[in-house]
Structure 1
Amino acid sequence: MITLTGQTLTFSEINKILFHGEEVTASTESIERVIASRKAVEKIVDDEKIVYGITTGFGKFSDVYIDKKHVESLQLNLIYSHACGVGDPFPEVVSRAMIILRANALLKGFSGVRPVVIEQLLKLANAQIHPIIPQQGSLGASGDLAPLSHLALALIGEGEVIYKGEKTTAMKALTNEGIFPITLTAKEGLALINGTQAMTAMGVVAYLEAEKIAHQAELIASLTMEGLQGIIDAFDENIHLARGYQEQVDVAKRIRTYLADSKLTTKQGEIRVQDAYSLRCIPQVHGATWQTLNYVKEKLLIEMNAATDNPLIFENGDKVISGGNFHGQPIAFAMDFLKIAMAELANISERRIERLVNPQLNDLPAFLSPEPGLQSGAMIMQYVAASLVSENKTLAHPASVDSIPSSANQEDHVSMGTIGSRHAYQIITNVRRVLAIEAICALQACEIRGIERMASMTKEFYDGARKIVPSIKADRVFAKDIEALNKWLKEESCILENFEIITNN
């Protein structure tokens, strides 16, 4: 059981909640803050004060006063009108992340909701009831209004959800779990949708996958080093300490560890004096990606524990301030940076694939074919990698440099951070497939060289991967191999024991 406080959610905890079904609860202290904040909202309504989103309309309608007899209708109308997202739904795990992050934000006690709203969110999470939330429609400022409105629908028993692996109505899922729909009162609809939880949830899931992929990229690159008899000297610690980037030093160290007892790597001058950049500069390029991942993780960790709605309530209601914490610019920049950094892992991987299959660049059979000419071998796998890399370059265009005014120009600058986070996830999905292709080619190259000469750790990977993708003895439908290895890389089961020890240190 993970206890949410509104302030202390970690990546380790969110990973357990999202991927291991860990249940959640709220801390007593956080609920006390929520109760105090709610009293302030109720006083504002009773005193008929003019406060944005509590006794006024929204956006351009902020100057329209709403009588207290209409506060419930105001919140319900808000959810109905804003639930207009379009396109394919977010992955179920992202929907789950949105629930958790929205609950955690409300537990900070600045939003003025009743505890029952947070309890309803936690009930959905613990019952594995995940709202179906369309991916498209958020500008990433004024919060992720459209996506979060679809989330809010589930709390009131409307909309559709994924429950026990099936698509169904929210009301049916709630009824099956003995959960009653709630009625939203003053400010609660606004508090549920005015935030960055869609882009942050997508960003968290993207980051967790990117981190795993970045480690796998190093292990797969190590196989390629063996398949091409790469020069190990380029990974000497002195070189990387001389430059000073810790992430670069760490990548070089991990690859030295993977290849420690390899008889397939070479020393400079044995076969050639220098390797191509795609081999020689692995620590520099992969290390730079790790620098970016560290930056992204830092920003996401802050946003996971941030109050991002509007207005916010301070000093027991004596201070209620309209601000702009819903603006997604910090996450928009982080997601665009993540896109670029992960796309580069695929770029350099594709160049290593080319070196594995191009007979003009190595002494292996052309395209790793068992019968060059009669059989094409890995020729078109490199095409596929090149296609994915090219697609990534388009997706890597920064979403955050764009802005379109909305709400009659009241909301005249927006972040487009949700678009950035969605594209980041698409890029990461493409990167994994490129790495799967590199792995297939590297496995074949190492087999040709002699698997008995491989390092202990790369041989362990080889043995595991060969259970998924057999040796290329003849041409076959390689699409099945790519998808099978892609799935293996995505699943926890592909993380080998020794590999996990090294990457966790």
Structure 2
Amino acid sequence: MKNFNYGIEHLTIGICLDIAAGKVKGVINEDAAARIQTSWKEVEKIVHAHLPVYGINTGFGPLCDTRISEEDTSMLQSNILKSHSVGVGKPIAQEIAKLMLITKVHALAQGYSGISPQTLERIIWHIDNDVIPVVPEKGSVGASGDLAPLSHLFLPLIGLGYVNVGDEKHPAGEILKQHNLQPLILGPKEGLALINGTQFILAFAIKAVERLNNALNVADLIGAMSLEGLMGSSRPFDARLHAIRPYKGTKLVAKRLAALLDGSAIGSSHVDCDRVQDPYSLRCMPQVHGASRNAWLHLKELTEIELNSVTDNPVIFNADDTISGGNFHGQPMALPLDYATVAAAELGNIADRRCYLMSEGRYGLPKLLTEHAGLNSGLMIPQYTTAALVTENKTFCFPASADSVPTSLGQEDHVSMGSISGRKLHMVLDNIEYIQAIELLYASQALDFRRPLQSTPVIEGLHQLVRQHVPFIKEDRIFADDINALHQLIIGGKFQSTATEAAQKHNINITDDDEFGIY
């Protein structure tokens, strides 16, 4: 298994996800260990010299002017974990909590936080053994660090809180005893170092980059299938058109769509038709899907910067040089997460319009995509679901980062609310994946009405995959079962992998440019 050196190497989104999946092992090498040890010793100097430094020998937030005695500095750090564990709501997914652990280790291992080697070793033990702390989803305002969720994340270090082992929840103290481990006694600055940071926001961003990337790729594939079902034109995807308005995302989508449709018998069958131009939901896929890709690219860039940043406070350069700043503030991530939420929602908006278009009975397709409308409702009602989901997504598009409620008796008078931005983006993505499953149901049905004409190898391969799980609709049935089956193909990666395999087999280039990757 390949190793990744925490605190030393550049951490990408892909590598971070691989560590969480157990494909890569994160380690502390000698260089990182030396930095960590040096920073830890500098904090000890501060304590012994009685130098006033926030959070080491002072209280927190509005209590920053309250001095703490040397003998109480350790109790101060355990108290902060307990008092700040105020999260509510359902637990976050275990993968998100594990990403929080990984990103926190990488930030602390850079040697600016005064964390002890022992504490980092224990966090890595949790990662390597999949003993994942239980973290409530709500309670962070996205500044001062993600205080509440990070406090819950690290309660197990001192034998408190809960952990998941597999699918079972246990008191952390019990699991430590089973492994012959003692709760840690935190040293000066350690509690603050653990909970000051943006790792809750960051973990949601990392997973969102992966999920939105998949949704963008799937949008192009299903969009191409819908276009073929509607006998649309591939002319709007000509590279020359996009060279004179050269947005990166737009050019990529146009290139992918052109490659997916090149050589289609369905496409060549209507080159002399009298349709002048297609509706926007077909013709403008490069502009709409591409704009969402541009937003994704921005989110990916900023997420990777955050992945390799120190978001602690205060930052320890040495005992005589500490800075109480604002690197914990979530605003740099809150804004792009809100932007990406709108970008994701737009994939659903345009997909819903294509579903509606395929149900209208235009362009040679039967109304509601059924040959026996009346006795059968056909694909009338699935579009109601897409309509409901796109509207729900619109309600999630209000930017959380546009709001700020002062906290900490006014000491923390502007906060990012980025934790909410991250969570809302995933709510939108949940809906997008169902909307795409419904469009896939429509597109596959529409393609069947174009027989005996065939599309291209990739599109035909995807159609065959669908028909292995969802048969052609001859009469009404419980369409929720079909939607759920297609949803599993999309979120499980089978839909995307089938397209990739077919493209490689037939030398069709639909791969993303390197810039649009996550490694």
| Interval containing the TM-score (normalised by the shorter chain) | over 0.9
Moved more, 231-240 or 176-185: 176-185
Partner of 2:218: 216
Equivalent position to 2:293, from 283, 290, 294: 290
Q: Does the CA contact (< 8 Å) of 2:345 and 2:393 recur in 1?
A: yes
Distance 1:265 1:180, change over 3 A: farther
- The 3 A distance-change label for structure 1 pair 504 and 244 is closer
| The 10-residue stretch of structure 1 (192-201 or 455-464) with the greater mean CA deviation from structure 2 | 455-464
Match of 2:511 in 1: 503
Give me the whole-angstrom Cα distance separating, in 2, the residues matched to 1:504 and 1:277: 24
1:299 maps to 302
Contact 2:331 2:416 in 1 (8 A): yes
Equivalent pair of 2:313/2:325 in contact (CA under 8 Å)? yes
Conserved 8 A contact 2:20-2:102: no
Q: Identify the residue that residue 517 of structure 2 maps to in structure 1.
A: none
What whole-Å deviation, never above 9, does each CA across 1:348-374 have from its counterpart, x for those lacking one?
111111101122x44312211242111
**Distance in structure 2 (CA, Å) of the matches to 1:73 and 1:327:** 26
**How far apart are the structure 1 equivalents of 2:438 and 2:202?**
30
The CA distance in 1 between the partners of 2:410 and 2:147, in whole Å, is 17
Q: Counterparts in 2 of 1:199-278, with a 5 A limit?
A: 199-265=201-267, 269-278=272-281
* 3-state SS of 1:467 partner: helix
Inter-partner Cα distance in structure 2 for 1:122 and 1:112:
17
TM-aligned CA deviation for residue 204 of structure 1: 0.7
Whole-Å Cα distance in 1 between the matches of residues 56 and 487 of structure 2?
49
Residues 85-142 of structure 1, C-alpha deviations (whole Å, 9 max, x = no match):
0111111110110000011110111100101111111111111111111111000000
Residues 277-335 of structure 1: per-residue CA shift (max 9 Å, x gap): 00000011111111111100000000011110100001x33201100000000100010
Q: How does 1:53-202 map to 2 (within 5 A)?
A: 53-202=55-204
In the TM superposition, residue 265 of structure 1 has moved relative to its aligned partner by: 2.2
Q: 2:229 is aligned with what amino acid?
A: G
1:402 aligns with 2:398: no
Provide the residue aligned with 2:420 in structure 1.
Answer: 419
Q: 1:451 to 1:333 in 2, by over 3 A?
A: farther
Question: Which residue of structure 2 aligns with residue 457 of structure 1?
Answer: 458
Q: Structure 1 pair 371/157, CA: closer, same or farther in 2 (3 Å)?
A: farther
Are 1:3 and 2:11 counterparts? no
Residue 424 of structure 2 aligns to a residue whose secondary structure is helix
2:408 aligns to what SS in structure 1? coil
Runs of 5+ consecutive residues of structure 2 not aligned to the other structure: 505-509, 514-519
Rounded Cα–Cα distance in structure 2 between residues aligned with 1:455 and 1:335 = 36
Please give the alpha-carbon distance, in whole angstroms, between the structure 2 residues aligned to 1:470 and 1:305: 48
**Contact preservation (8 Å) 1:110, 1:312:** yes
Instruction: Report the AA paired with residue 63 of structure 2.
Output: F
- Distance in 1 (alpha carbons) for counterparts of 2:273 and 2:21: 47
CA distance in 2, matches of 1:478, 1:21: 38
Which secondary structure state, in structure 1, belongs to the residue aligned with residue 100 of structure 2?
helix
Tell me how far apart the structure 2 counterparts of residues 280 and 93 of structure 1 sit (CA, whole Å).
38
Does the residue aligned with 1:185 lie in a helix, a strand or coil?
coil
Provide the rounded CA distance (Å) in 2 between the counterparts of 1:58 and 1:497: 54
- RMSD of aligned alpha carbons: 1.6
- Give 3-state SS (helix, strand or coil) of 1:465's partner: helix
Cα distance in 2, alignment partners of residues 27 and 271 from structure 1: 68
Partners in 1 of 2:463 and 2:50 — Cα distance?
70
1:392 matched to 2:393: yes
Residues 468-487 of structure 1 aligned to structure 2 (within 5 Å):
468-487=469-488
Range with greater deviation from structure 2 (170-179 or 365-374): 170-179
The offset of 1:376, in angstroms, is 1.1
Check conservation: 2:6, 2:105, Cα contact below 8 A. no
Distance 1:482 1:19 in 2: 28
Which segment is superposed worse, 208-217 or 167-176? 167-176
* Stretch deviating more after TM superposition (448-457 or 174-183): 174-183
- Which residue of structure 2 aligns with residue 374 of structure 1? 375
Distance 1:467 1:451, change over 3 A: farther
Letter in 2 for 1:293: W
Deviation at 1:420, TM superposition (A): 0.3
CA distance in 2, matches of 1:175, 1:3: 29
Alignment match of 2:312 (pick from 309, 314, 330) = 309
SS of 2:206's partner is: helix
Report if aligned partners of 1:211, 1:293 keep a CA contact under 8 Å in 2. Answer: yes
The TM-score, its normalising length taken from structure 2, stands at 0.94
Q: Decide whether aligned partners of structure 1 residues 370 and 494 sit closer, same or farther in structure 2, where only a CA change above 3 A counts.
A: same
* Paired AA for residue 418 in structure 2: G
Q: How do residues 32-71 of structure 1 correspond to structure 2 at under 5 angstroms?
A: 32-71=34-73
Quick one: structure 1 residues 268 and 178, their matched pair in 2 at CA, closer, same or farther if it must change by over 3 Å?
farther
Letter in 2 for 1:503: T
Using a 3 Å threshold, how does the CA distance of structure 1 residues 222 and 175 change in structure 2: closer, same or farther?
farther
Partner-residue secondary structure (3-state), 1:45: helix
3-state SS in 2 of match to 1:139: coil
3-state SS of 1:71 partner: helix
So what's the TM-score if we normalise by structure 1? 0.96
Shift of 1:468: 2.6
